[in-house]
Amino acid sequence: MGQAIAFYTLAAFILGFAVLVVSTKDTVHSVLFLVLDFLFVAALYVLLGAPFLAAIQVLVYAGGIVVLYLFVVMLVNLKRPPEAHQDPHRRTKLGFGLAVAVLLELGAIATYGMTRTGSPLVVPGTNGPLPGNTEQVGWLLYTSYLIPFEIASMLLLVAMIGAIVLAKREL
C-alpha cells in the first residue's frame, strides 16, 4: 500500500514536470524542469530496488546529458524574456548558498569515508551472485550478458568514429 502511494506520487510528479518541460516558454527553465524530472525517475528506480540504476540515472541524465542541453541552449543563444527580479544582490546570495551547500556535502562525504568500517566490496572466494545491487549488475554484465556487452563496445566505437568523421575538418 505504502509503495503504491509512493509510486503514484512519484509518477504524478514525473508527469507534471514533463508537462512543464514542454509548456514553459523559457528554454533554460525547461531544461531545469527536465533535471527535476530525471531526479524523480531516479527516485522511482530506488523505489523499485535498483539503487545502481538510480545513481546512473542521476550521473548520466541529470548530470551529463542536461549539461549538454544547457550548452546547446547557450550556443544557439535563444532569446530569453527579461528577468522579473530586480534584486541586485540576488546572484551573490544564490552563489553563497550554493557554495555552502557544496561545502557541507563535501564535509559529509569526508566524515562518512573516515568513519566507515565496512567489508571490501568483493568477498574473495565467492563465485555466485554477490550481495548488493551494483555487484549483481556487474556480475550479470560479465557473465550472462558478456556478448551483448562486448557488442556494445563496438557500438561505442562506431559512435566515436562517427563523431570524428562528422566533426573533423576536411583533409
Partner 1 sequence: MPAGVSLRDFYYLLPELVLTGGALLVLIADVLLPRRSGHALAWITLLVLAATLASLGTFSGTHEVAHGLIAVDEFALFFKVVFLVSAAVTVLMSVRYLEIEGASPGEYYFLILCATLGMMILAGGIDLITIFIGLETMAVSFYILVGFIKPNQKSNEAAVKYFLLGAFSLGILLYGMSLLYGLSGTTNLRVMAPVFFGPETRHDPRLILAVMLVVAGVGFKIAAVPFHMWAPDVYEGAPTPVTAFLSVGSKAASFAMILRIFLEGLPAMVHDWQILFEALAIVTMTVGNLAALTQTNLKRMLAYSSIAHAGYILIGLVAGTPRGVSAMLIYLFIYTFMQLGAFTVIVLMRRRDVVGDELKDFSGLHFRHPYAAFAMLLFMLSLGGIPPTAGFMGKFWLFSAAIDAHYYWLAVIGVLNSAVSLYYYIRLVVFMYLKKDATGSEPSTTPALTVALAIAVVATIYIGIYPRVLFEIAEASARTLGVVGITAALP
Instruction: Assess 171 for contact with partner 1 (CB under 8 A).
Output: yes
35/37 Cα distance (integer angstroms): 5
Instruction: Assess 144 for contact with partner 1 (CB under 8 A).
Output: yes
| Residue 102 CB coordination number (10 Å) | 10
Instruction: Assess 60 for contact with partner 1 (CB under 8 A).
Output: no
Instruction: Assess 15 for contact with partner 1 (CB under 8 A).
Output: no
Per-residue x/- marks for partner 1, 101-140, CB under 8 A? Answer: --------------------------xxx---------x-
12/6 Cα distance (integer angstroms): 10
Cell of 161: 568514429
Name the region of 108 (left: φ>0; alpha: ψ -120 to 50; beta: rest): alpha
Cell of 92: 551573490
57/46 Cα distance (integer angstroms): 11
Nearer to partner 1, 11 or 99 (CB): 11
115/117 Cα distance (integer angstroms): 6
Instruction: Tell me which residue of 36, 6, 43 sits closest to 21, measured CA to CA.
Output: 36
**Least distance from partner 1 to the Cβ atom of residue 122, Å:** 15
**Least distance from partner 1 to the Cβ atom of residue 168, Å:** 9
Task: Choose the binding region for partner 1 from 42-50, 85-93, 112-120, 163-171 (rule: CB under 8 A).
Answer: 163-171
Among 78, 106, 109, 151, binds partner 1 (CB under 8 A): 151
Place of cell 528577468: 83
# chain residues binding partner 1, by CB under 8 A: 25
Among 8, 71, 96, 145, binds partner 1 (CB under 8 A): 145
Residues that bind partner 1 (CB under 8 A): 127-129, 139, 142-148, 151-152, 154-155, 157-159, 161-162, 164-166, 170-171
